[in-house]
């Protein structure tokens, strides 16, 4: 069911650290041609810090863990590449489509492949104003034992609601060198994190302790705030204007989040793109260091 790249196959055989990378940011999250450049740069970061990159996607219905150069280029440039969450995987296989994987699908496939660490940008979460409108990422985190490194959730979401759901699912949230829960574009979403870690060795120890205590049935979320956040005043203005524009255009439900994301991209004069790229690079470095520690 899974096709491994040559590099990942060699790493698995040699029991070397491997870091899972999602592909949705490549196909749908960043503009061309910067998306392919960033994907290549992120893979090089994993190698530079002693790991093996395993970018995950489906190509012509086949799950790929690790992409060869031409496959990475296809995911970045093919307009027919769709987004796939866990519920879509069997359908994508059956219809022989090509798909980029969301956080939920990437985590699921990484677990199937025996990979324990996953770097992403930001998690999905509870959407504003809709109690039952929430990302499948949250349920995946509740059921998949993996270390996921992220910059919290995007500030356009219901951050408080997201944290409550993670608590209900008993998913541990660790702040890497911070007690503040990041808000993706911002280093501080306004919410506290109960548990802080200051080294990758601490994260590795927690991971190992969970196995002994039989509490290792879910993910560990490691939040890593962006070093150079978006200007706070600019962020708040864009968010307020975007919410007002969504209401004026009668946009509601699951359509609100992609609308606001696009509003940030078009209104921030490149700042949201800059932060997005900084985040995935920083999270990839930290994830690789954790994989090596494990």
* pLDDT tens sequence across 239-277: 999 989 988 999 876 677 778 878 988 999 999 999 999
Adjacent-strand bridge partners of 149: 119, 222
For residue 93, CA distances in Å to 23, 88, 90, 99, 239 come to 17, 9, 5, 10, 38
- Could you read off the pLDDT of 168-206 as tens digits, one per residue? 999 999 999 999 999 999 999 999 999 999 999 999 999
Reported CATH class of domain 120-294: alpha beta
**pLDDT higher than 80, residue 26:** yes
Structure-block tokens of residue 233: 């005043």
Two structure tokens written together for 183: 């808000």
Residue 277 has a pLDDT of: 95
The ranges assigned to domains in the chain are 1-115, 120-294
Instruction: Return the minimum-mean-pLDDT range out of 48-52, 145-149, 154-158.
Output: 154-158
Q: Give CA–CA dist 190/181, Å, rounded.
A: 7
In the numeric block, the tokens 């939920």 are attached to 104
Mean pLDDT (the chain, rounded)? 94
Which residues, 6+ apart, have CB-to-CB distance to 52 below 8 Å? Answer: 7, 8, 10, 11, 16, 17, 18, 19, 46, 66
Is residue 80 over pLDDT 90?
A: yes
Beta bridge partners of 197: 176
Catalytic-role residue among 7, 12, 22, 180: 22
Is the distance from CB of 276 to CB of 38 less than 8 angstroms? Answer: no
| Residue tagged active-site, from 71, 111, 134, 154 | 154
Question: Which residue, chain included where needed, has tokens 């870690």?
Answer: 197
Q: Tokens 């219901």 appear where?
A: 158
Establish whether 22 is a catalytic residue: yes
Q: Report phi then psi at 248, rounded to 5.
A: -65, -35
Q: Can 134 be counted among the known catalytic residues?
A: no
Query: pLDDT category, 23, cuts 50, 70, 90?
Result: very high
108/220 Cα distance (integer angstroms): 14
What is the fold of 1-115? Indigoidine synthase fold (3.40.1790)
The reported pLDDT for the residue numbered 200 is 98
Model pTM?
Answer: 0.94
Q: What is the dihedral of CA 205, 124, 128, 30, to 10 degrees?
A: 130
pLDDT, residue 144, reads 97
């Amino acid at each position: 069911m899974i096709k491994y790249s040559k590099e990942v196959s060699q790493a698995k055989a040699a029991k070397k650290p491997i870091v899972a990378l999602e592909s949705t940011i490549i196909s749908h999250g960043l503009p061309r041609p910067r998306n392919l450049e960033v994907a290549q740069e992120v893979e090089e970061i994993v190698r530079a810090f002693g790991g093996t990159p395993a970018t995950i996607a489906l190509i012509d219905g086949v799950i790929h863990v690790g992409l060869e150069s031409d496959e990475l280029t296809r995911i970045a440039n093919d307009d027919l590449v769709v987004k796939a969450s866990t519920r879509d995987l069997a359908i994508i296989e059956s219809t022989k489509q090509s798909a980029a994987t969301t956080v939920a699908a990437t985590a699921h496939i990484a677990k199937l492949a025996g990979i324990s660490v996953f770097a992403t940008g930001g998690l999905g979460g509870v959407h504003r104003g809709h109690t039952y409108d929430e990302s499948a990422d949250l349920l995946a985190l509740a059921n998949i034992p993996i270390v996921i490194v992220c910059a919290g959730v995007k500030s356009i979401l219901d951050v408080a609601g997201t944290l409550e759901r993670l608590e209900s699912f008993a998913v541990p949230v660790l702040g890497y060198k911070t007690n503040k829960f990041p808000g993706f574009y911002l280093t501080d979403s306004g919410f506290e994190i109960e548990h802080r870690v200051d080294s990758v060795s601490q994260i590795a120890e927690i991971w190992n302790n969970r196995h002994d205590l039989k509490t290792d049935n879910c993910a560990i979320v490691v939040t890593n705030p962006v070093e150079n956040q978006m200007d706070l005043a600019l962020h708040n203005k864009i968010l307020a204007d975007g919410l007002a524009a969504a209401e004026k255009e009668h946009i509601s439900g699951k359509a609100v989040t992609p609308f606001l994301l696009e509003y940030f991209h078009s209104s921030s004069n490149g700042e949201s793109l800059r932060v997005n790229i900084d985040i995935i690079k920083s999270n990839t470095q930290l994830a690789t260091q954790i994989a090596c520690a494990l």
